[in-house]
């Protein structure tokens, strides 16, 4: 038989405990035997939990858009409406509106006719009348780009890429010669790779960030088990993404020791269209970055550091304006006003780049690695142009 015991009713506190300052709380914790490192770690953990709670409260609540009664535009085609999300703890699911179109786009990504068009075959051999010094090249840059694109899309080494292209031309009953793997490796060092993308009629809003691609080294499992070795080498990839179309408009590949803020002016120089806004994280909060954005007459959406103060020298007026606005509405309100949350599209692009082509580079020199990254970005832009998912959130049952 279970035993029961009666608990006394809880007694209300006589008075609320006095509110301590941060210095008093640290002194009390130090008296209990805690170290400064443990106190700072606990503060960081509490700050992270508080930030996560603010994000859930702000962005997980569904707010239906209010229709304007004075609008004279025709009513749009009815779309499946997202059900209201009752609570921040509700698990979200996403449904696609364009499932049929997106499925067809995913199928076309592996179509050989997409990566080897008739125009490419017609311009397969190089023009021997270029009047350059030395022996003229046999294959054109278009042919080398086509073969290297097949290598990137189907994740093949150089020798297997040569065999794959040779068998493909046999099936096509074409007498075109295939460049050998040494020619592909040599020509990739100085190959010009344009990024195919749709030109915008108005100014661009670009988001900027960087990621790393491994050259050689152990995998994550061995690293977790036995630690990091000296032979783990990475290359840093700096990306500028069109926020509206989801395409890569500029890419740079550097050594891993190069800072993110150092390459922002070069990324902006690679974009020929006018810019309206540049969004980046706090790592780009420098004078050089703000001056480069101001020179393009664009709006900078870069969150200032916690220790930032007003400069009042005119070197970065956008940062001073952000500080004044943050003092009025807070950091979360400022990010909502400038659309800073759209910067997460850069993280999405990095995820797509790594899951589609892998997280490793096969080239062993920086010049070949730069070409390899640009080939991947150009192929990813063509995949984006085929079709992207259009989803809306619903509450899980």
CATH of residue 248: 3.30.420
Q: Are residues 350 and 269 in the same domain?
A: yes
Query: What's the rounded mean pLDDT across residues 153-161?
Result: 95
Q: What is the pLDDT of residue 60?
A: 47
Q: Do residues 211 and 237 lie in contact, with contact meaning Cβ atoms separated by under 8 Å?
A: yes
Q: Are residues 231 and 367 in the same domain?
A: yes
**Residue 299 forms part of a structural domain:** yes
**Residue 297 forms part of a structural domain:** yes
- Picking from 141, 163, 190, the residue at the C-terminal end of a domain is 190
Q: Do residues 392 and 95 lie in contact, with contact meaning Cβ atoms separated by under 8 Å?
A: yes
Nearest partner of 178 among 161, 154, 194, judged by Cα? 161
Q: Are residues 256 and 362 in the same domain?
A: yes
User: For the segment 289-331, what is each residue's pLDDT rounded down to a tens digit?
Assistant: 999 999 999 999 999 988 888 887 778 888 899 999 999 999 9
Q: Are residues 227 and 350 in the same domain?
A: yes
Q: What is the pLDDT of residue 68?
A: 43
% helix, strand, coil for the chain, step of 5: 45, 15, 45
Structural domain count, the chain: 2
**Residue 305 forms part of a structural domain:** yes
The Cα–Cα gap between 213 and 234 comes to: 6
Q: Are residues 215 and 142 in the same domain?
A: no
Residue 296 structural domain:
204-371
**Residue 240 forms part of a structural domain:** yes
**Residue 4 forms part of a structural domain:** no
Q: What is the pLDDT of residue 231?
A: 72
Q: Are residues 221 and 297 in the same domain?
A: yes
Q: Are residues 216 and 342 in the same domain?
A: yes
**Residue 339 forms part of a structural domain:** yes
Residue 43 clears pLDDT 80, i.e. is over it: no
**Residue 356 forms part of a structural domain:** yes
Q: Are residues 317 and 360 in the same domain?
A: yes
Q: Are residues 218 and 145 in the same domain?
A: no
Q: Are residues 209 and 355 in the same domain?
A: yes
Exposed (0-12), middle (13-18) or buried (19+): which is 340, by Cβ within 10 Å?
buried
**Residue 219 forms part of a structural domain:** yes
Q: Are residues 185 and 235 in the same domain?
A: no
Q: Are residues 208 and 350 in the same domain?
A: yes
Q: What's the pTM value of the predicted model, to 2 decimals?
A: 0.74
Task: Band the pLDDT of 397: cuts 50, 70, 90.
Answer: low
């Amino acid at each position: 038989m279970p035993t029961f015991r009666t608990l006394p009713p809880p007694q209300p506190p006589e008075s609320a405990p006095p509110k301590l300052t941060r210095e008093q709380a640290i002194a009390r914790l130090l008296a209990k035997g805690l170290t400064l490192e443990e106190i700072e770690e606990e503060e960081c953990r509490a700050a992270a939990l508080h930030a996560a709670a603010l994000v859930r409260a702000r962005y997980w609540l569904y707010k239906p858009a209010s229709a304007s009664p004075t609008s004279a535009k025709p009513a749009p085609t009815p779309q499946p409406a997202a059900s209201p999300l009752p609570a921040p703890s509700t698990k979200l699911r996403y449904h696609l509106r364009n499932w049929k179109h997106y499925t067809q786009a995913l199928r076309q990504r592996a179509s050989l006719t997409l990566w080897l068009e008739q125009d490419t075959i017609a311009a397969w051999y190089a023009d021997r009348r270029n009047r350059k010094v030395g022996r003229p090249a046999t294959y054109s840059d278009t042919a080398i780009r086509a073969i290297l694109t097949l290598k990137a899309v189907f994740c093949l080494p150089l020798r297997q890429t040569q065999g794959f292209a040779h068998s493909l031309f046999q099936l096509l009953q074409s007498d075109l010669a295939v460049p050998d793997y040494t020619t592909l490796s040599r020509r990739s060092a100085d190959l010009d790779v344009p990024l195919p993308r749709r030109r915008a009629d108005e100014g661009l809003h670009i988001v900027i960030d960087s990621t790393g691609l491994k050259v050689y080294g152990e995998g994550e499992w061995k690293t977790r088990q036995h630690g990091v070795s000296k032979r783990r080498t990475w290359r840093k990839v700096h990306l500028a993404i069109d926020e509206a179309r989801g395409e890569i408009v500029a890419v740079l590949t550097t050594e891993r020791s190069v800072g993110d803020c150092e390459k922002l002016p070069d990324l902006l120089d690679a974009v020929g269209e006018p810019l309206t806004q540049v969004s980046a994280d706090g790592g780009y909060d420098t004078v050089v970055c703000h001056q480069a954005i101001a020179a393009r007459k664009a709006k900078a959406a870069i969150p200032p550091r916690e220790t930032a103060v007003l400069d009042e020298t005119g070197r970065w007026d956008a940062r001073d304006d952000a500080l004044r606005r943050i003092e009025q509405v807070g950091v979360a309100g400022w990010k909502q006003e400038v659309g800073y949350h759209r910067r997460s599209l850069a993280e999405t692009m990095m995820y797509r780049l790594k899951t589609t082509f892998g997280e490793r580079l096969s080239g062993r020199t920086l010049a070949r690695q730069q070409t390899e990254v640009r080939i991947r970005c150009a192929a990813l832009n063509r995949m984006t142009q085929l079709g992207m998912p259009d989803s809306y959130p619903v509450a899980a049952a």
